[in-house]
Amino acid sequence: MWAASGGGHGAFLGYAAGELRVRASTLMHLDDLPAELAGWGPIHAHLARIVAKRQIGGEWRFAVCDEDGHLLFAGVTRRRPGGWPRHPGPSEADHRAGAAINHAQEMGVAGASERDTRVVPVRGRGIVELQFPLSLLRALHADLHALGGWAGVVADVLGQYEAADPDHAPDEGEGNGADSGRGPGAGGVDDGASDRDGGDGRRRFPRAGLRRHIQVRDRACTHPGCRAPAIRSELDHTRPYAAGGSTSEGNLAAACAHDHDLRDNGWQVVQTAPGHVTWISRTGHRYPAQPPPVIEPLPEPFAPAGWAHLRPADSGHGAGNITDPAVDELPYVPAYRYEPAWWEEPLSKPDTAQEVTVRPGPPVDPAEDIPPF
């Protein structure tokens, strides 16, 4: 749904859910594992696919992880699944909404800002993070012709991963990253590889690639107990930049604005390894934190007996069971009566025609009453 509304930067159309973190296998209909909206919580697979399609014009990141789910490499891809609907630009109705704002400005209507002169598609502002276990990524790349529209995305992700470190490439010359846009002058998206290698540590602020890598690695603010997503947090120099600290992977950590200010009020931060941060309070208490797994371990989905004939065998990559892409959601066949927890069966009305006999109790002795009765 597209809806126009006035704002400080133009007429914003549609919506963006923020940052969607989802396994690529879920979007490819290889499993039905839950996804996550950063800062909000888990969502089911069907809703994740809808949100990803709505944010097809946003930034699509990827995270290649080891078997334990920890980050190996992060980047961004410009490829999109073939066959997915592309949202068109502003329609004629959207331009009419922008013209109405311009007319309101000319007429001096209250609330019409001078900057409300353009139409901005909000859907292009979201982030989709594709999560790939390395073993699954290689297995998918070995059979690209069977992936259909996802072949370009998988090839681009593996090409960037292998181009980051030639030792990752299984064969000489494979995964040269010609289409991945890596390295100086590659003509693609700058993923900040030089930043992570320490070649750009004298900059005050990190480039997009390094900033994205820290956000994917830390997931949230590194202060203990804070759940602020890393994309809405600041990047804190563990050793202050003014004191000679470098702008590098091992000296940066995500810290929200509130917790970042604690550095100016007596708190200290120590980073022993990239992402391994220890916050030290003013009383000397230490609160260590380490990078959480990007792909959290999940049990296999539980399927009631009524689903047995609807679901084929496991895909073999710990990704659960496969659903039909055409259906995009399993039919719900409950094995129990689905009713709200607060629902109760109505009580049967008593038969007024039947005479009810009430027997009186024994007489009460006033001397045996408990005070103050």
pLDDT at 201: 78
Order of strands, sheet of 268-273, starting from the edge strand that comes earlier in the sequence: 268-273, 276-280, 286-289
Domain edges within the chain:
4-16+55-191, 219-289
Residues 230-253 pLDDT 10s: 999 999 999 999 999 999 999 999
Q: Which of 18-22, 86-90, 282-286 has the lowest mean pLDDT?
A: 86-90
pLDDT of residue 202: 83
User: Picking from 25-34, 242-251, 355-364, which range would have the lowest pLDDT averaged per residue?
Assistant: 355-364
Residue 17 has pLDDT above 70, yes or no: yes
Pinpoint the alpha helices (H) of 191-262.
Answer: 193-196, 208-218, 257-260
User: Do 168 and 162 meet the contact criterion of CB atoms below 8 Å apart?
Assistant: yes
Report pLDDT for 169. Answer: 59
140-144, 185-189, 312-316: which range is least confident on average? 185-189
Residues in contact with 289: Cβ distance below 8 Å, sequence separation at least 6, in sequence order: 222, 223, 224, 276, 277, 278, 279
Q: What is the pLDDT of residues 183-213, one digit of tens each?
A: 333 333 333 344 454 456 788 899 999 999 9
Note the pLDDT of residue 206: 92
Q: Say if residue 349's pLDDT is above 60.
A: yes
* 5, amino acid identity: S
Dihedral sign for Cα atoms in the order 20, 25, 29, 30: negative
Name residue, tokens 């989905």: 301
Q: Which residue type does 285 have? A: H
Provide the pLDDT confidence category of residue 178 given band limits of 50, 70 and 90: very low
Give pLDDT, residue 107: 60
* Strand locations in 51-208 (E): 59-65, 71-77, 119-121, 127-133
> In this predicted structure, what is the pLDDT of residue 49?
93
Q: Confidence band (pLDDT; 50, 70, 90) for 275?
A: very high
pLDDT at 227 over 70: yes
Decide: 66 and 72 in contact? Cβ < 8 Å.
yes
Q: Quickly state the pLDDT bin for 303 (edges 50, 70, 90).
A: low
Distance CA 179, CA 170 (A): 18
> Which is more confident, 267 or 107?
267
Q: How far apart are CA 216 and CA 293, in angstroms?
A: 10
Quick one: which of 1, 2, 11 has its CA closest to 104? Answer: 11
pTM summary value: 0.65
Q: Is 142 helix (H, G, I), strand (E, B) or coil?
A: coil
pLDDT by residue (tens digit) across 48-64? 999 999 899 899 999 99
